[in-house]
A and B are shown apart, each in its own frame.
Chain A
Amino acid sequence: MSLTLRIILFVGSLVSFYLCVKKIKQAKLKVENSITWMVGSFILILMSIFENTVGWIANKFGFMSSANFVFFIIIVFLLIQVFIDNIRLSILNEKIKNLNHYIALKENADERKANNKK
């Protein structure tokens, strides 16, 4: 890994870490949702510091260079994150749909009650 890449990783991770904490303070991000980002950026910081270990692991797994290994880890991390978000989105969608149904059925029942009284 080149020194430039290590510096970019280190700075990028610090910035994302800082953004997470800031958003949590502003109550724009839930703590449980931020954990993956925190852990992710922490791992990147570790990777930029302990370059030799990363190189050793990359070599064992058969990566051409340790930079490739770092990118691989980032891609896996992002895929997992997107998948989790997809599931959350589907759950939210389902909840809104059910609320929508509930409101419609309730309004219909109220209307019929009102009509019966007349």
Chain B
Amino acid sequence: MISLPINFGLTSGIQVGMKYAKANGYDIAIQFDGDGQHEAKYLKKLVNEIEKNNVDVAIGSRFVEKKKPFTARMIGNRLISFVIKIVTWKKIKDPTSGMRAYNKKAIDMFNSNASLTPEPDTVVYMIKKGLKVKEVQVEMKDREFGESYLNIFKSVKYMVNILLSIIFIRTFTRKEK
């Protein structure tokens, strides 16, 4: 466990993990919610994708085999999915999922670009850079403890941030030759 002396937010936490993974030469790094929403038994599935199927980023998705419900909470999810489809021509069914596994290539990317966050716009960046992103069906539970950092106002702000980032910044990401 790495404890940071100053609370700098979620992104900073993920980034320090990526630095640690690189410094210790790890092959795979996993992004995982600690509030009981995610179940560790599905991690094997994600890691399998990377190890066996040559995938660079595996996303634990709720909606690969199951249908996305038409609820208010899914409006944002659908909107981000739609924008990602337009920008990358790829269908990401659960872009806001916080359960992801990254291989060495993706870990290196996190280390070389400080603007990468654990949010959907990073997925767009990685697709644009030519990484293979694949979704894997998982189940998620309701959070057992802790509180989401999103309330109504923050949700709107989050959506605007993510959409602006995808549309105006990540769209212009070019694949390296």
- What is A's interface to B at a CB cutoff of 8 Å? 94, 96-97, 100-101, 103-105, 107-108
CB distance from B117 to the nearest CB of A (A): 12
Partner of B6, one of A96, A107, A108: A96
CB distance from B30 to the nearest CB of A (A): 18
Residues of B within 8 A of A104 (CB): 2-5, 16
Is B129 engaged at the interface, CB distance under 8 Å to the other chain? no
Is B152 engaged at the interface, CB distance under 8 Å to the other chain? no
Q: Are B20 and A108 in contact (CB under 8 A)?
A: yes
Counted as pairs of residues, one from A and one from B, with CB atoms less than 8 Å apart, the total is 35
Q: Can you show 22 pairs from A to B with CB atoms below 8 A apart?
A: A94-B114, A96-B6, A96-B8, A97-B12, A97-B114, A100-B5, A100-B8, A100-B12, A100-B16, A101-B4, A101-B12, A101-B15, A101-B16, A103-B4, A103-B5, A104-B2, A104-B16, A105-B2, A105-B20, A105-B23, A107-B3, A108-B3
CA distance in complex: A100, B9 (Å) = 12
CA distance in complex: A58, B23 (Å) = 60
Is B45 engaged at the interface, CB distance under 8 Å to the other chain? no
Is B128 engaged at the interface, CB distance under 8 Å to the other chain? no
Q: Are A100 and B6 in contact (CB under 8 A)?
A: yes
CB distance from A17 to the nearest CB of B (A): 38
Is B104 engaged at the interface, CB distance under 8 Å to the other chain? no
Residues of A within 8 A of B20 (CB): 105, 108
Residues of B within 8 A of A94 (CB): 114
Q: Are A105 and B5 in contact (CB under 8 A)?
A: no
CB distance from B24 to the nearest CB of A (A): 10
CB distance from B55 to the nearest CB of A (A): 28
Residues of B within 8 A of A107 (CB): 3
Residues of A within 8 A of B3 (CB): 104, 107-108
CA distance in complex: A105, B4 (Å) = 8
When A105-B16, A105-B19, A105-B23 are in contact, do A100 and B114 touch as well, CB less than 8 Å? Answer: no
Nearest-neighbor residue (CB-CB) of A93 within chain B: B8
CB distance from A77 to the nearest CB of B (A): 27
Nearest-neighbor residue (CB-CB) of B1 within chain A: A108
**Which residues B38-60 have CB closer than 8 A to chain A?**
none
CA distance in complex: A59, B114 (Å) = 48
CB distance from B29 to the nearest CB of A (A): 14
